[in-house]
Amino acid sequence: MREMKELIGEIGRPNMGFVLDSWHWYTAGETIADLKTLANRDIVSIDLNDAPAGRSLDEQKDLERELPCATGVIDMSGFLNTLNELGCDAPARCEPFNAALRKMPPEEALAATAAAMKKAFSLIR
């Protein structure tokens, strides 16, 4: 995040910011303290995912993610509550790179994704 903040600063345009992804935040080894260096205006949108359980950080694969709160590997409560403390009002979405979800009928996949997002947002205090 530090390098991206520097890049955005160098570009110097008011319409630049982060697509803040919980999975990338986790796999980059970023922390709550790193999130607290951002301001609401820095965040353009939010992607929410969880990481597969039973894998080390280095074993995570970009196109293999879980729905938000599915495994608890990513501290979704810390992530979302910190963004809430920042006054973040960016739109959020799920980015479900998940083989099991792709095999579901569309209505079932949508219902599972919506339930996961509701579960994630219920963590906000």
In this prediction, residue 11 carries a pLDDT of 93
Collect the ranges in the chain with pLDDT lower than 50: none
The pLDDT of residue 15 is 87
Residue 119: CB partners within 8 Å, gap ≥ 6?
Answer: 68, 69
- Where residue 88 sits, what CATH number does that domain have? 3.20.20.150
d(CA 118, CA 75): 16
Query: Which residues form the domain of 30?
Result: 2-121
Please give the tally of structural domains in the chain: 1
pLDDT the model gives residue 51: 97
Beta bridge partners of 66: 50
Residue 40 phi, psi dihedral angles, 5° rounding: -50, -45
